[in-house]
């Protein structure tokens, strides 16, 4: 979850806006096939489209029309995927409570890749979300072995840029993991729901992995859920796709901490989500097989389903067996509350809160007159009233990585490959002037064939940073490039000038932010140094 320099990726930075006539990113990086997600390594995301298939990440453009005043990174397809972001978008649009949080591991200078995450937090804050920025110093010490002196130096630099870019500390919260006792206490509680085998499977830990390294994972889970400690609310974590293993674990742990799990069912036996579609299909066709359609039997549904054609053959066979075992039990849709961690008082309070027909069992309650959303809301309300957390599963949005200015990976160990937010403006200018481009071998070929903006680190600078909120400018640069009107020398000169202006302005604002940082109740020099 903490953004850690460097990250590596191929990219496809075609600009886009919500207008269907605009150029849009196609979701893939040309010529690469591998997908590897490693929260601490240099992740290679060869084809962003595969993330949708392999890890269940959803395409952001599907939710984009529901986002109020979307950020340009969203409009241009730089933010390309999400998990469950619709819940957050709905809250922002309706003026309801929502939160945003992301973290930064202080292992080097903040650079323009980190600026994307800073911007995403700040945009959400300006849309009305509670905003949190954290320094993952425990993770930097445990996972990367940095000294506390190094961590303190990098911490100050990250926070100055964060404030200079527009984060409002009076309306949000900045903290260090090492100084937040609530996060550490929550991490302890979450640790009771995780085990070594799970962490080993997700993160490839082995017998040589130090315990603090493993503990830093649970601390990150606590960071992700921290905005919901006071009250549960939809929360989004902006990250790169390499951080998705953290998000999947956090969503699992949030569910395990809940008092109740709400599911749909049709009979006494439990079903998985894959079964529900087939069960709904059978129930909707009950007139075809039931002696009494008002009271269809499971065994009747089993006979009908056995003849039903579907590609989900194994799912169907398992479901048919379950229906056969249920025999003459009525097939009837219901919402089920499963007892996970509820106290006796909470379980009884839930029973008393449900209106209409219910069935109460030792470890679950079935209700027949509620929607799933109504049941979720009630379960959360009862849980919070009886001392539980009531966590919403945290949402996430995923942005593309930036290609290094020299091509290939952007690495903090290769100064020419990235632009630090601390670089002298003249140095930033020179780095852009020296950058690799997607241009042709000669000016004649460029005019004839057009440039390859989709494979150009310099065009990425326009799309991700230099065009700011001006979609028309980003689109014009792209179309002039691929149309052969824009030559690389002039394009780099313009980008270099814009970068010099950005860095000069940013560093002026960093100096202004020093006074703000000094006024915060935040220890820049940690007592752990001693």
Task: Note whether 296 and 331 are within 8 A (CB).
Answer: yes
What's the pLDDT at 403? 85
Q: What is the pLDDT of residues 437-480, one digit of tens each?
A: 888 888 888 899 988 888 899 999 999 999 999 999 999 999 99
Q: Which of 9-18, 26-35, 212-221, 269-278 is most confident?
A: 212-221
For range 250-262, the mean pLDDT: 97
Q: What is the pLDDT of residues 96-142, one digit of tens each?
A: 999 999 999 998 899 998 999 999 999 999 999 999 999 999 999 99
DSSP of 497-523, one letter per residue?
HHHHHHHHHHHHHHHHHHHHHHTSS--
Percent of the chain with pLDDT over 90: 72
Listed as own residue / partner, the contacts of 96-99 with beta carbons closer than 8 Å and 24 or more positions apart are 96/234, 97/130, 97/231, 97/233, 97/234, 98/124, 98/128, 98/129, 98/130, 98/233, 98/234, 98/235, 98/236, 99/129, 99/130, 99/131, 99/132, 99/227, 99/228, 99/233, 99/234, 99/235, 99/236
For range 341-350, the mean pLDDT: 97
Confidence band of 409 (pLDDT split at 50, 70, 90):
low
The pTM assigned to this predicted structure is 0.86
Residue 189's φ and ψ, nearest 5 degrees, are -65, -40
Q: What is the pLDDT of residues 29-45, one digit of tens each?
A: 222 234 443 433 434 45
Nearest to 25 by CA among 77, 84, 93: 77
Alpha-carbon span 380 to 336, nearest angstrom? 14
What's the pLDDT at 2? 66
What's the pLDDT at 47? 66
Domain boundaries, the chain: 260-385
Confidence band of 413 (pLDDT split at 50, 70, 90):
low
What's the pLDDT at 372? 95
For range 417-435, the mean pLDDT: 94
Residue 420's φ and ψ, nearest 5 degrees, are -75, 150
What's the pLDDT at 260? 98
Q: Quote the mean pLDDT of the chain.
A: 88
Confidence band of 143 (pLDDT split at 50, 70, 90):
confident
- Would you say residue 481 has pLDDT above 60? yes
Task: Note whether 169 and 163 are within 8 A (CB).
Answer: yes
């Amino acid at each position: 979850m903490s953004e850690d320099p460097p990250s590596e990726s191929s990219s496809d930075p075609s600009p886009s806006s919500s207008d269907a006539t605009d150029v849009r990113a196609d979701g893939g990086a040309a010529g690469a096939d591998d997908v590897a997600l490693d929260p601490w390594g240099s992740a290679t995301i060869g084809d962003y489209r595969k993330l949708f298939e392999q890890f269940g990440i959803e395409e952001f453009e599907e939710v984009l029309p529901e986002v109020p005043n979307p950020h340009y990174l969203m409009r241009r397809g730089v933010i390309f995927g999400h998990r469950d972001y619709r819940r957050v978008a709905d809250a922002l649009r309706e003026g309801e409570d929502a939160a945003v949080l992301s973290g930064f591991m202080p292992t080097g200078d903040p650079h323009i890749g980190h600026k994307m995450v800073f911007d995403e937090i700040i945009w959400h804050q300006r849309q009305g979300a509670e905003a949190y920025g954290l320094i993952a110093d425990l993770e930097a010490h445990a996972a990367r072995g940095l000294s506390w002196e190094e961590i303190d130096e990098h911490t100050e630099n990250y926070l100055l840029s964060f404030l200079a870019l527009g984060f409002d500390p009076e309306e949000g919260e900045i903290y260090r993991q090492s100084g937040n006792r609530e996060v550490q206490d929550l991490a302890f509680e979450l640790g009771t729901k995780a085990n070594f085998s799970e962490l080993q499977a997700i993160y490839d830990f082995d017998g040589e992995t130090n315990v603090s390294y493993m503990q830093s994972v649970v601390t990150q889970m606590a960071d992700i859920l921290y905005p919901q400690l006071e009250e549960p609310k939809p929360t989004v974590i902006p990250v790169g796709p390499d951080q998705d293993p953290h998000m999947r674990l956090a969503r699992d742990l949030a569910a395990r901490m809940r008092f109740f799990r709400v599911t749909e069912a049709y009979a006494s036996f439990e079903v998985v989500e894959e079964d529900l579609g087939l069960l709904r299909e059978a129930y909707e066709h009950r007139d075809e097989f039931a002696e009494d359609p008002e009271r269809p039997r499971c065994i009747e549904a089993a006979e009908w389903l056995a003849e039903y054609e579907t590609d989900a053959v194994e799912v169907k066979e398992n479901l048919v067996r379950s229906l056969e075992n249920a025999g003459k039990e009525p097939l009837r849709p219901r919402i089920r509350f499963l007892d996970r961690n509820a106290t006796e008082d909470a379980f009884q309070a839930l029973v008393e809160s449900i209106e209409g027909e219910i069935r109460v069992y030792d470890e679950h309650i079935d209700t027949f007159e509620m929607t799933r959303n109504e049941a979720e809301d009630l379960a959360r309300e009862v849980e919070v009233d009886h001392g539980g957390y009531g966590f919403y599963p945290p949402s996430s949005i995923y942005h593309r990585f930036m290609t290094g200015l020299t091509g290939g990976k952007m690495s903090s160990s290769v100064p020419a490959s990235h632009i630090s937010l601390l670089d002298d403006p003249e140095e930033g200018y020179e780095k852009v002037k020296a950058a690799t481009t997607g241009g042709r071998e000669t000016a004649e070929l460029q005019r004839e064939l057009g440039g390859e903006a989709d494979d150009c680190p310099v065009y990425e600078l326009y799309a991700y940073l230099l065009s700011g909120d001006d979609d028309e400018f980003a689109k014009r640069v792209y179309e002039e490039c691929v149309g052969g009107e824009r030559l690389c020398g002039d394009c780099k000169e313009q980008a270099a000038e814009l970068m010099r202006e950005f860095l000069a302005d940013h560093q002026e604002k960093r100096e202004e932010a020093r006074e703000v940082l000094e006024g915060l109740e935040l220890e820049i020099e940690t007592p752990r140094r001693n």
